[in-house]
């Protein structure tokens, strides 16, 4: 075991790189590539190796996130999720 392995609840745990370098299923070295934020890729750039997109979360780095709204009725003892921020038609 490497010098950074840990024992937790009776089992050896730690980073996977301590036990084996990144490799392909055939045993060769892994070909890792980082394409950036998967949410900023166009449809033709998305591949199975692009990574998971935060579809419903949007871009967390946006500066114009709406934080105000109106409090909805009928929440009872609810303490979260009481504000409506969408278009109130």
List pLDDT tens digits, range 17-36: 677 777 888 888 887 666 67
Quick one: tokens of 35? 């394409």
Q: Each residue of 67-81: b (16+ CB within 10 Å) or e? A: eeeeeeeeeeeeeee
Instruction: List pLDDT tens digits, range 33-84.
Output: 666 777 787 778 777 777 777 765 666 677 777 778 888 888 888 888 888 8
For the whole model, what pTM was predicted? 0.27
pLDDT, residue 89, reads 63
CA distances from 5 to 16, 20, 21 (A): 10, 12, 15
């Amino acid at each position: 075991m490497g010098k950074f392995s840990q024992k937790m609840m009776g089992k050896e745990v730690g980073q996977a790189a301590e036990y084996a370098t990144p490799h392909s299923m055939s045993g060769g070295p892994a070909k890792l590539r980082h394409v950036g934020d998967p949410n900023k890729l166009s449809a033709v750039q998305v591949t199975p190796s692009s990574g998971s997109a935060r579809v419903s979360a949007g871009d967390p780095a946006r500066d114009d996130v709406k934080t105000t709204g109106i409090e909805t009725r009928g929440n009872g003892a609810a303490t979260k999720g009481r504000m409506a921020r969408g278009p109130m038609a």
